[in-house]
Structures are given as C-alpha cells and as structure tokens.
Amino acid sequence: MSGSTALARFAAFARSVAGPDAVIDDPRERQAYSCDGLTSHRATPGLVFVPSSRDELIVGVREIIRLGLPFVARGAGTGLSGGALPETDGVLVVLARLTRVLEIDPISRVAVVEPGVVNLDLSAAVAGEGLLFAPDPSSQIACTIGGNIAENSGGAHCFKYGFTTNHVLGLELIDPTGELVFVGGQSLESPGPDVRGLIIGSEGTLGIATTIVCRLINQPSLRRTLVAYFDDAVQAGDAVSEIVGAGLVPAAIEMMDRPALVACEAATHAGLELDWGAALLVELDGPAEEVDEGFVAVREALAAAGARSVWVATTEAERERMWRARKAAFAAAGRVAPAYIVQDGVIPRTSLPRVLAAIGDLARESGLEILNVFHAGDGNLHPLVTYDPSVPGEEARAEEVAAAILSLCLAEGGSLTGEHGIGVDKVCKMPEMFSATDLSVFARVRTALDPRGLANPGKLLPTPRLCGEQAGRYRPHPLEEAGVATRW
C-alpha cells in the first residue's frame, strides 16, 4: 500500500471511530502544525489526528501502527528542539483535547491526568488542597504534561525539586507496537528496571502516554526572594558555589549577565539596577522558620562572594516583579535585535566563570550581542544569541556562535541540553557527547521497543541519513545483528 493510500485509509478509519472533527486533512490547516517552538525546522504533516478521549487515542494509534505509518505526538507545540516536527508521510497525533484531570488523591498526594492537561492547570486544580505539581518550565501556562514527560522538563525551580521524572510516578503507554503497557506505579519504587524512567525524556520515541500518575507536593508556606548584584560574572559564579557549598538548597538560583539585565529592565521596568556585571535572583521556599533561617545564610554567602548591592522583595508584588523581569529575557532579546537563537546547554557549576568569559569573547569576535540567562544552581545556560536576519551572513554567524557555545559546554564535561531536548535540533551533535557504544545502547533499547521505527523517527538518535558520516560511528553490536538466541 502506498503512503498516501495508507493515510487516506487512516483518515476514513479515524473519522468513523472518532468523528469528522478528529481528522484534519486540508493542506492549509495541516500547515498550521508544521513546526513547534523550533521554527527553523518545518514539515507539513501528512495528516493530523486529534482524538477526544483515551479510547479514541488508543484505537487510532493502533490503526496507524497497523498501517505502518510513522507518527509524531504533539502536545501544545511549545517544545524548542523540534521534537514535535511532523512527518510529511505520517500522522501527527495531537493530544490537546485530552485535558481531563481524572483523579486527585490528597492523602496519597497523587493526581491522575490525561496527557493534554496543561502543566499550570494541574497545579490550579490541586491548589485548593494546598498542593502543586512541581515541574515549572517557562512555558507552563501552555505546555502539556505529556510534553513534559517527552522532554523530562525542568524549570526555574528544578534545582530544589528535580525534573519531571521525579514527579511522574507511573503512566500507561501505547507503545510503538500498539501494546498498552503500564510502567511505574503509585510510588517511585517498583520492582525491576525502571522502564518509567526510560520513557520519561525519550521525546516520543518509545510511545505515547495515555494516562499519567503525577506526584504532588505541598505548596510552600513561605517564599523569600532577592536579587543580588556583582561586579562581574566570576563573583556571581563564586556566590553560587558558596551557597551550594554551604548546603543551602534554594528553590531557584537564576543568573543574568549585564546585557540580560539591561534588556530585561528595558522590557519590564521591574526596577533592576543596571550598573553591574551580573545579578543573581535567589528564592527560598518551604516552612517559614526554615526559609527565614536559610535567607540569613544566603545573604551571608552572597556577601562573602562580594555582592555589592542586594534587593530583597518585601511584598509578593515585588517578588512577582523580580520574576517577571527574569522571565522576560526571551521577549527582551527581541528588543535588542530582530531575531535571536536560544541555546540550551549544561556545564558543571564550577566552570561557570570560565564559560561566561568565553561566551563574552565569542560575542566580541562575532559582533553579535549575547544575553546570558542561567539556571545557575544546576549549571543550565540559556544564552540568547541575537542577530539581524536582514544583514547578509549574520544568521549563519549566529548559528556558528550558538554551536560554539555548545562545544564549550561539552569541552567542560557538560551536556548538549538541560531542558529543551535533542529533537531534530541537536540530533547530529549526539556523537559529540556520547560514545559509539553509549549510542548503541540507546539504539538497541529503541529498536527493542519500536522494531519498525514508527514512533517519532528522525528524532533523538543520529543516523547516517540525517547526519552523514558522523552518525556512522555507532552501529548495532555484531551479537545483536547475529540475533543469537537468549538462554533465559
């Protein structure tokens, strides 16, 4: 059967089981789904399937698999690495209508949700019980929990609370062979290999979550927040080491360099001081006495590292202004230049001053302004490389600079991505971080769960087709290719 015949058959099937609204095949409407937050990569999906219930999802995905069509899951499309880039000859499975919170259990502190539930909506649904869902990506007003699982999303507060994998206890998955599997449970301890952990962060390559068990945590009774200013980024980096080394665990430690300070203040008029080399936003949360005690210790650590000025939020409104300024960084970059590339990399905390200095050199050499905002607690950089696409060659230069920043991260023993994922954006860079054998393990696991390669093909793992010679460095192990029988 040709690809277009299979797509037409699936469209007819999906309409019959899920109604006419469940299928989008008009070319212009399909084009609206041609990219996620990574707008540099686009592909019009062969067909869009929008189920309204778990059952429609399961029946539909099984038919997609039976027909041998590739499929890509999409939540809100806020991802920044092209993880939801569609296949032109496949089906884009949009989960945006699966928005039900099925169960809230305040005693066991779990909620059971559908994959299309918006991150912030879950916290809103459990706020009356004094609870919240901890992962807080900056897109949390729009992004879905299914998407958080695909990307193992973090956020400003993951230094203290961890990533999505620490807050999703179990899930029902329709795997790439069409089987329904339940992984994990109602607690983080389950016998045998942690397949739950394998699914979370696999970027839609191992199946689609249909039902999700989320862990909820207590809302903190108190939050205290400050902004501290330093002469330079080296001192700010020292302050982060002082704080962490003293055993303090702030809910967030965010860093902005001077260009970011200037741009964020211009965008929000929050009241940031501008005559400094770098600033840290530090927030503590938890029981009141613990927070008050910790806040004193944080201020001591900041002073010891050379903080020259400290702005302490005395009201909730002031705290919100601080966060608005920090979170405006992306919008603020748009005021500096018509376009920008946001990079996402991780470095060991101790490398922070050295990497910031090197990024400064790159900015000077390239003539491009770079704003640095950081989840400094876990060493997760988000440099914004600004450029003007109307200036010939500037976009290419920006891409070179962004790539060079990533190479800096890897040279320091860091990571290709902190929270934006690999997707299509960094798939050909995987061999720079992982050895051939490391990648072979990923590939063997993926093949085991998706023998036909239907689930989000072209994402996460490099292939010769995508990446040329580079990807040729890893191959299935000879023993695997030989298909030697198992003895257990």
Q: Tell me: does residue 472 bind a copy of itself (CB under 8 A).
A: no
Smallest distance from a copy of itself to CB 481, Å: 9
Q: How many residues bind a copy of itself (CB under 8 A)?
A: 103
Matching residue, tokens 């965010």: 254
- Per-residue binding letters, 390-429, with a copy of itself (x by CB under 8 A): -----------------------x-xxxxx-xx---x---
**Binding residue for a copy of itself, selected from 28, 189, 315, 392, defined by CB under 8 A:** 189
Smallest distance from a copy of itself to CB 409, Å: 12
Laid out side by side, the sheet with 110-113 consists of 101-105, 110-113, 208-215, 168-174, 180-184
| CB closer to a copy of itself, 136 vs 394 | 136
φ, ψ of residue 94 in degrees (nearest 5): -95, 125
307-366 binders of a copy of itself (CB under 8 A): 346, 348-350
Q: Tell me: does residue 371 bind a copy of itself (CB under 8 A).
A: no
- H helices present in 203-305, as ranges: 233-245, 258-268, 288-304
Q: Tell me: does residue 39 bind a copy of itself (CB under 8 A).
A: no
Across-strand partners of 282? 226, 253
Tokens of 117: 């539930």
258-277 binders of a copy of itself (CB under 8 A): none
56-75 binders of a copy of itself (CB under 8 A): 70
Distance CA 115, CA 338 (A): 35
Q: Tell me: does residue 185 bind a copy of itself (CB under 8 A).
A: yes
Window of 19-27, 44-52, 53-61, 450-458 that interacts with a copy of itself by CB under 8 A: 450-458
Smallest distance from a copy of itself to CB 366, Å: 26
Q: Tell me: does residue 449 bind a copy of itself (CB under 8 A).
A: yes
192-221 binders of a copy of itself (CB under 8 A): 192-203, 205-206, 218
Window of 243-251, 252-260, 266-274, 365-373 that interacts with a copy of itself by CB under 8 A: 243-251
Smallest distance from a copy of itself to CB 18, Å: 23
Provide the b/e sequence for 149-171 (b: ≥16 CB within 10 Å).
bbbbbbbbbbbbbebbbbbbbbb
112-131 binders of a copy of itself (CB under 8 A): 130
Is the CB of residue 116 less than 8 Å from the CB of residue 96? yes
**Binding residue for a copy of itself, selected from 181, 222, 403, 428, defined by CB under 8 A:** 181
Q: Tell me: does residue 235 bind a copy of itself (CB under 8 A).
A: no
Instruction: Write the CB contacts of 201 (distance below 8 Å, at least 6 apart in sequence).
Output: 149, 150, 151, 152, 164, 165, 421
Short-list 377, 470, 366, CA closest to 154: 377
Q: Residue 318, class by beta-carbon neighbours within 10 Å (0-12 exposed, 13-18 middle, 19+ buried)?
A: middle
Distance CA 115, CA 143 (A): 10
Distance CA 281, CA 374 (A): 10
Window of 19-27, 260-268, 321-329, 446-454 that interacts with a copy of itself by CB under 8 A: 446-454
Pairing of strands 222-230, 252-257: unpaired
| CB closer to a copy of itself, 99 vs 177 | 177
| CB closer to a copy of itself, 126 vs 336 | 126
| CB closer to a copy of itself, 325 vs 424 | 424
Q: Tell me: does residue 441 bind a copy of itself (CB under 8 A).
A: yes
Task: Answer positive or negative: Cα dihedral of 424, 429, 435, 436.
Answer: positive
Smallest distance from a copy of itself to CB 438, Å: 5
Read off the amino acid at residue 40: S
**Binding residue for a copy of itself, selected from 128, 247, 392, 393, defined by CB under 8 A:** 247
Short-list 49, 182, 10, 91, CA closest to 455: 91
